[in-house]
Amino acid sequence: MDWATGLVPGGKENFNACLIIVDRFSQSMRFLPCHKEDTAMDTALLFWNNIILTCGVPKIIIIYHPQTDRLAERMIQTMEDILRRFCAYGMEYKDHEVYTHDWVTLLPTVQLAYNTSQHSTTGKAPSLVEKVWNPLFPVDHLKRNLLTIHPTAKDFHEMWKIACDTAAKCIAEAK
């Protein structure tokens, strides 16, 4: 668990940092947008709402320190590198309703791209190790022979594809 700070403000709440949480067993990770100025209570609520309610209470929590083992250190550095690269692209996507999606709204795509890509130490995708299955993407359910697709769905698919490609590029560059 560590924070990446100094990020370009994004989202409706102008998040400028991100809490990075890595599961040491499966190598899966979570990116949780936050503020550099968040208090311990803010962080505890973020952890409660996004980790404990979905995964339960971990046996141990290791906050990044250089004196921890090299695997944890390297994973956190890689996650920060991926996140900073993704934010550096300045990704903004305007859909047909002119709603702008920035790094905060596209952050789940980075998480999904990382957690479904093969990890070098396990030879499997982290989500496969963690859940014993890889999640399906929305595009997996689209019928190829549809005559019309709602503009919102088409915009979402295009935005998701761009963000996913960028995330994959960031992951490859960070490794």
**CATH number of the structural domain spanning residue 142:** 3.30.420.10
Please give the residue range of the domain that contains residue 104. 2-174
pLDDT-derived band of residue 41, with 50, 70 and 90 as boundaries?
very high
Mean pLDDT value across residues 93-114 = 76
Residue 98 has pLDDT above 80, yes or no: no
**What are 105's two structure tokens?**
């709204």
The two tokens of residue 23 are 């599961």
Output the pLDDT for position 154. Answer: 75
Identify which has the larger pLDDT, 103 or 34.
34
Average pLDDT over residues 52-70: 70
- Residue 64 above 60 pLDDT? no
| Rounded distance between C-alpha atoms, residue 135 and residue 93, angstroms | 24
Q: What is the pTM of this model?
A: 0.73
Residue 44 has pLDDT above 80, yes or no: yes
Question: Which range in 30-34, 91-95, 112-116 is most confidently predicted, on average pLDDT?
Answer: 30-34
Residue 87 to residues 4, 107, 112, Cα–Cα distance (Å): 11, 9, 16
For 106-145, the pLDDT digits (tens) are 888 888 888 988 888 788 998 888 888 888 776 666 655 5
The total domain count for the chain is 1
More confident residue, 9 or 145: 9
Helix locations, the chain, DSSP H: 40-47, 53-55, 70-88, 103-115, 126-131, 138-141, 151-174
